[in-house]
Amino acid sequence: MSCRLGAFGLAAMFAALATVAYAADPLRICLDEDRPPLSVQHRGKPGAGFDVTLAQAIAQRLDRPLQIQWFESKLDEDSSPQLEANALLSDGRCALVGSYALTRDSLVVPGMKTARLPDFDGASRDDRRRRVALGVLAPSQPYIYSPMTVVLGPKARDRKISDIGDLAGLRLVIESGSLGDAILMTFHKGRLIDGITHLVPGRDDLLGALDRGDYDATLLDLARFDAHRAAHPDTTITASGYYYPIGANRGYVGLASDPALLAAVNKALTDLMAEGKIAEFGKQAGLTYLPPREPAILGDVWKQIIQR
């Protein structure tokens, strides 16, 4: 009997030690280093933004220390947020990627087996050259709704916008290859095309040009307008208050091979949402926070846009 008790005691001790070890294992979350007010890394200073605060709260609920892996997502026509996130996760750089757009297209099994890593904090020269074998992505429940909104320049600040058609006659500006570009170019079989000027993403200053009065309106992600307004308190551009009806929720994305982590994160998100904490984090970061909407995962975005 004493031998059995001794063996049982050892098993319990090892199980407890394993639990403690897991709890002490850092929760590694990948965040974009330059996406205010969601997330931003200031060199030599702690990271800031809505997703940083949320990540800290999630890690606390899971009783795990937080480690943020900063990465840089380039704003250009050749970038693929899906492949970048998958490469970071599959390479073990993090277990979750924050503020991932939850669309059916962004969660499909990738059509290629490998991809390059985006530039990330601590990357070596070899990291920038090598390719990573990709896994299968799985989403958490959403924690924020991310719509497109019309932003008006100083000469059109009094224009009432209740539909994309209300932009007719204005000097429109948009970044080539963006979602906003697709929406404006295909509206009513090209009704707005003659009034659209295209800028190169990552090279031209879209909101700066709008602020100078060079153009009258644009269509972009609401959080991007929040970031501009925070960085330029004296800005002359204004929010129209109109949200394009097709928008995506954002949440975490991890690998399908770790369902236990996603289940734990979902529970933490549910509790934080019920307590009003997530909306509070958005307000603290200067973010126009909108709660998630149905459907949780958006269907074929391009098809819906063309059909409208």
Give the residue among 204, 257, 252 at the shortest CA–CA distance from 75.
204
Instruction: Quick: pLDDT tens for 23-38.
Output: 579 999 999 999 999 9
Inform me whether the pLDDT recorded for 120 exceeds 50. Answer: yes
Residue 109 per-residue DSSP state: P
Q: What residues have CB less than 8 Å from 74, skipping those under 6 apart? A: 118, 202
CA distance 119 to 31: 12
- Given a cut of 50, is residue 2 above it in pLDDT? no
Q: Specify the pLDDT at position 43.
A: 79
- For 83, the enclosing helix (H) or strand (E) is helix 81-90
Averaged pLDDT, 93-117: 94
Amino acid at 257: S
**The predicted structure's pLDDT at residue 241:** 95
Which pLDDT score is estimated for 202? 81
Encoded tokens for 144: 């924020």
What pLDDT is stored for residue 14 in this prediction?
41
Among 65-79, 128-142, 226-240, 278-292, name the one with the lowest average pLDDT: 65-79
Band (pLDDT 50/70/90 cuts) for residue 305 is: low
Residue 165: band (very low, low, confident or very high) from pLDDT cuts 50, 70, 90: very high
Q: What is the mean pLDDT of the segment spanning 219-247?
A: 94
Q: Which one has a higher pLDDT value, 9 or 256?
A: 256
Q: Which amino acid is at 15?
A: A
pLDDT at 277: 98
Rounded average pLDDT over 145-150: 96
Give the relative orientation of helices 277-284 and 50-61 as an angle to the nearest 10 degrees.
150
Between CA 95 and CA 61 the distance in angstroms is 16
Taken in order 246, 252, 257, 263, the sign of the CA dihedral is negative
Q: Which residue has the higher pLDDT, 74 or 142?
A: 142
| pLDDT (average), residues 222-226 | 95
Q: Please tell me the predicted confidence (pLDDT) of residue 282.
A: 97
Q: What is the mean pLDDT of the chain?
A: 90
Residue 107: both structure tokens together = 């969660």
The confidence score (pLDDT) of residue 246 equals 86
- List, in sequence order, every residue forming a beta bridge with 243; answer none if it has no partner: 149
Instruction: Match 């404006």 to its residue by tokens.
Output: 184
Confidence of residue 42 (pLDDT cuts 50, 70, 90): confident
